[in-house]
Amino acid sequence: MTREEVSRALHRALAQHGALAVQSPSQADLVVIPSSTPLLDAFGKLIGRNFIDESNWQPSLGDLVKIGSKGAPVAATAVTVSYLARRHPFSYVYTTDSLAVVASRLAQREVHRVPVVDKATGEMVALITQSALVQWVVDNKALLGDVLRHPLKDIGPLGTSPVVSVCATSPVLDAFKLMDEHKISAVGVVSQAKGDLVATVSSSDIKFFLRTKFPMTHTVMEFVQSINDQMVDIRSPLICASRNTPLGDVIGRMAKAKVHRVFLVDGKDKPVGIVSVTDVMKLLGDRK
């Protein structure tokens, strides 16, 4: 099957199920803050519910690069509601919409979660993340037919995006620079000797970086090993597949490991592509 045929089949299957079919946080766990709420009051409410604390603050990748490479201070800028809205667009669906509509929203740039709104009351009743929809696909394979059995090589161009990688012996700052320059959330780590994929560094690792004040001049592998040695739960594991791997298995590995990307490698474990959770959303939500 071609990508278009696979996408159409998946889209038709998801169109048969409503948005509320996906597991969502309970109403008690959802926090809804009116847009008229002052910014400090909004943060106060989040802190009161233990959603964030002072230790959760982290600078952007650009800030880290600026501090590490130039020793320059990070400029303090006023954070406004409009600024936050631009970074996190409010893309929602109604309770009457299908999962196909949910997938199309989650395929949009910078949209990682979608509120489900009651059309009659205007209230948010659920929240669906990309990972939650991936898990629904895994849990409901039988409803999707044989389409998930096709290998990635038959569904091109899925997973054909080039992998941005950094050498294991490079300074860890180089990994952050690459993520910042390419506007991506993770890079592959390859060995100097063979160029095979040995690890990954993602934006979630910044929390460990800041918590431990890890030296920016140390190598990428020293950074990865330091995280592994301390059994830090924020570490994103390296999950791999090949172009011969069935689509369903790739999605299953993504769900089981709770990661946002699966690296594709060749017979020598060299990175040849990457399938992101957004790629999966695009495949599920494409009407073509």
- CATH number of the domain that residue 80 is part of: 3.90.1280.20
Domain containing 77 equals: 3-149
Burial of 5 (0-12, 13-18, 19+ CB in 10 A): middle
**pLDDT score of 56 more than 50:** no
Name the domain boundary from 149, 165, 187: 149
Please indicate whether residue 150 or residue 36 has the higher confidence score (pLDDT).
Answer: 150
**pLDDT score of 254 more than 90:** yes
For the record, the structure tokens of 32 come out as: 């809804």
Task: Render the burial of 268-284: b for 16+ CB within 10 Å, e for the rest.
Answer: ebbbbbbbbbbbbbbbb
Name the domain boundary from 119, 149, 179: 149
* Residues 230, 193 share a domain: yes
* Residues 82, 33 share a domain: yes
Name the domain boundary from 149, 171, 192: 149
* Residues 160, 144 share a domain: no
Please indicate whether residue 198 or residue 42 has the higher confidence score (pLDDT).
Answer: 198
Burial of 133 (0-12, 13-18, 19+ CB in 10 A): buried
* Residues 129, 176 share a domain: no
* Residues 159, 145 share a domain: no
**Domain count along the chain:** 2
* CATH code of the domain in which 199 resides: 3.10.580.10
For the record, the structure tokens of 230 come out as: 């301390």
Confidence tier at 96 by pLDDT (50, 70, 90)? very high
**pLDDT score of 267 more than 60:** yes
Confidence tier at 133 by pLDDT (50, 70, 90)? very high
- The pLDDT, as a whole number, for residue 29 is 79
Mean pLDDT of 168-179: 92
Confidence tier at 55 by pLDDT (50, 70, 90)? very low
Residues facing 199 on adjacent strands? 189
Mean pLDDT of 206-233: 79
pLDDT per residue over 76-93, tens digit each? 455 555 556 666 667 899
Task: Render the burial of 201-237: b for 16+ CB within 10 Å, e for the rest.
Answer: bbbebbebbeeeebebeebbbebbebbeeeeeeebbe
**pLDDT score of 65 more than 70:** no
Which pTM value belongs to this model? 0.82
Are β-strands 124-129 and 113-117 bridged in parallel, bridged antiparallel, or unpaired?
antiparallel
